[in-house]
């Protein structure tokens, strides 16, 4: 009998798993991807939309174009997972059964959890990034605050990248001398990773970007244009950009598959659900205390694909497991960037910012559509 491999979510993680399993097992399994919209969105590009360096349309492709032809795509929202009956219910009421299930549903932003948060901009959704750039085009000077309203969030380097790119943008409009950029950080440094903070903090200073430490955003007063921290400090702004709180997707929460924030508990090496049989999770979806980023999803997906392919073929589980590998770029502005690489056993390292890393990131972004979703990069 054919195995049914069901993947919930057509983002980077889900797409790689589906393509690699299909390539590996041939006609030994029926592989189905369920995705709410059927449109694949390259989320790392939101940062560039927010400062006018990328067009929204360039970040979207039909998911069907990225999947191998033998994979079935169902463009519908999954509403419930029944891990006992091994079936998934869709919004239409239709059910799909599975032998192996991959949860790759990612995260969602919940700015509504921040009192007054509607007064803040963000670049964590396509709409948010578009609106932010509209606001920046109108901006003629004043104070821009960039803060964090919840952890964990996608792409940890993004707030630091944003302030550097914002600095470039305001300089290009000749209004930098009429503007203040203030980065509000959850810790007493620019970035959670100390080694990377040591690299970027002097650059923040050179660019005149002010760093305020231990400012964990609690609430916003959009009338008074102030933001208040858990630590009890209040700051004024003319334009506020917040990293919104994130949660797992509703289908995870409604099905009781995750923790209180909807993150799915998995073994940090095999990515198998800690309590449920035949269920894996990848990327933002998991509760592993590691970066929520496309890079993490990418590396995890290759492992899960190999594990599922072994199950389908009746072979022993592969010995190669996920080692916590993460590799991110971090733009430092003025055409330069650095990288951050680490795994469970090796602390993060970042090279001195240079033009070549910026070009490497640009090249990666442009070639993404032809390499990553298909699983062509290791």
Partner 1 sequence: MSVTIAKSLDLKGLSCPMPIIKTAKAMKELAPGQLLEAFATDPGSVPDFKAWAQATGNTLVESGQQGEVFHFVLKKKEI
Contact residues for partner 1 (CB under 8 A)? 151-152, 186-188, 192, 194, 213-214, 216, 218, 230-232, 289-290
Total Cβ atoms within 10 A of residue 83: 18
Are 327 and 345 in contact by the 8 Å Cβ rule? The answer is: no
Residue among 151 and 363 whose Cβ is closer to partner 1 = 151
By C-beta, is 142 or 152 nearer to partner 1? Answer: 152
Give me 63's structure tokens: 């998911």
Least Cβ distance, residue 156 to partner 1 (angstroms): 10
Rounded to the nearest whole angstrom, what is the least distance from the CB of residue 289 to partner 1 in the complex? 4
**155 and 328 in contact (C-beta within 8 Å)?**
yes
Sheet holding 179-184, edge to edge: 209-212, 179-184, 142-148, 239-243
DSSP 264: B
Please identify, using beta-carbon distances, which residue of 109 and 291 lies nearer to partner 1: 291
Between 80 and 261, CB nearer to partner 1: 261
If the CB atoms of residues 60 and 261 are measured against partner 1, the closer one turns out to be 261
Q: In this structure, what are the phi and psi dihedrals at residue 354, rounded to the nearest 5 degrees?
A: -150, 165
3-state DSSP call for residue 66? coil
Q: How far apart are CA 212 and CA 206, in angstroms?
A: 16
Least distance (Å) between residue 292 CB and partner 1? 12
Closest among 158, 147, 151 to 295, alpha carbons compared: 158
Q: Based on CB atoms, which residue is closest to partner 1, 60 or 189?
A: 189
Q: Compute the least distance from the CB of residue 135 to partner 1, in Å.
A: 27
What are the residues whose beta carbons fall under 8 Å from the beta carbon of 288, sequence distance 6 or more? 266, 268
Instruction: Give 40 or 154: the residue with its C-beta nearer to partner 1.
Output: 154
Tell the smallest beta-carbon distance from residue 39 to partner 1 (Å): 32
| Beta carbon nearer to partner 1, 92 or 188 | 188
Q: How far is the CB of 148 from partner 1 (least distance, A)?
A: 9
Least distance between partner 1 and beta carbon 18 (Å) = 30
Q: Give the CA distances from residue 239 to residues 142, 149, 206, in Å, rounded to whole numbers and listed in that order.
A: 8, 15, 22
- Maximum Cα–Cα distance across the chain: 69
User: CB–CB of 241/265 below 8 Å?
Assistant: no
Query: What's the CA gap between 325 and 366, in Å, rounded?
Result: 23
Task: Give dist(CA 229, CA 213) in Å, integer.
Answer: 11
User: Shortest distance, CB of residue 323 to partner 1, whole angstroms?
Assistant: 16
């Amino acid at each position: 009998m054919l195995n049914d491999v069901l993947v919930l979510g057509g983002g980077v993680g889900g797409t790689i798993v589906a393509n690699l399993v299909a390539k590996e097992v041939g006609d030994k399994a029926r592989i189905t991807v369920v995705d709410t919209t059927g449109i694949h969105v390259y989320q790392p590009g939101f940062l560039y939309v927010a400062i006018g360096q990328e067009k929204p349309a360039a970040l979207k492709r039909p998911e069907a174009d990225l999947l191998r032809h033998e994979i079935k795509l169902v463009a519908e929202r999954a509403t419930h997972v029944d891990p006992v009956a091994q079936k998934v219910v869709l919004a239409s009421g239709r059910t799909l059964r599975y032998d192996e299930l991959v949860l790759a549903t990612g995260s969602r932003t919940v700015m509504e959890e921040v009192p007054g948060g509607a007064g803040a901009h963000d670049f964590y959704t396509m709409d948010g990034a578009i609106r932010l750039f509209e606001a920046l085009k109108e901006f003629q000077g004043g104070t821009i605050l960039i803060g964090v309203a919840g952890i964990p969030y996608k792409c940890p380097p993004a707030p630091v990248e944003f302030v550097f790119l914002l600095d470039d943008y305001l300089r290009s409009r000749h209004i930098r001398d009429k503007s203040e950029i203030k980065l509000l950080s959850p810790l007493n440094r620019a970035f959670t990773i100390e080694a990377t903070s040591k690299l970027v903090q002097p650059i923040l200073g050179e660019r005149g970007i002010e760093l305020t430490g231990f400012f964990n955003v609690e609430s916003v007063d959009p009338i008074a244009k102030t933001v208040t921290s858990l630590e009890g400090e209040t700051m004024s702004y003319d334009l506020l950009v917040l990293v919104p709180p994130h949660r797992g997707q509703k289908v995870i929460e409604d099905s009781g598959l995750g923790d209180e924030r909807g993150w799915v508990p998995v073994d940090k090496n095999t990515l198998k659900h800690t309590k449920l049989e035949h269920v894996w999770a990848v990327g933002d979806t998991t509760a592993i205390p590691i970066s929520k980023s496309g890079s993490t999803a990418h590396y995890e997906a290759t492992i899960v694909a190999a594990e599922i392919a072994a199950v389908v073929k009746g072979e022993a589980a592969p010995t190669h497991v996920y080692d916590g590998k993460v590799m991110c770029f971090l733009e430092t502005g003025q055409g330069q960037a650095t990288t951050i690489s680490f795994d469970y056993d090796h602390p993060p390292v970042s090279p001195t910012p240079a033009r070549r890393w910026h070009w490497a990131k640009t090249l990666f972004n442009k070639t993404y559509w032809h390499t990553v979703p298909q699983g062509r990069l290791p």
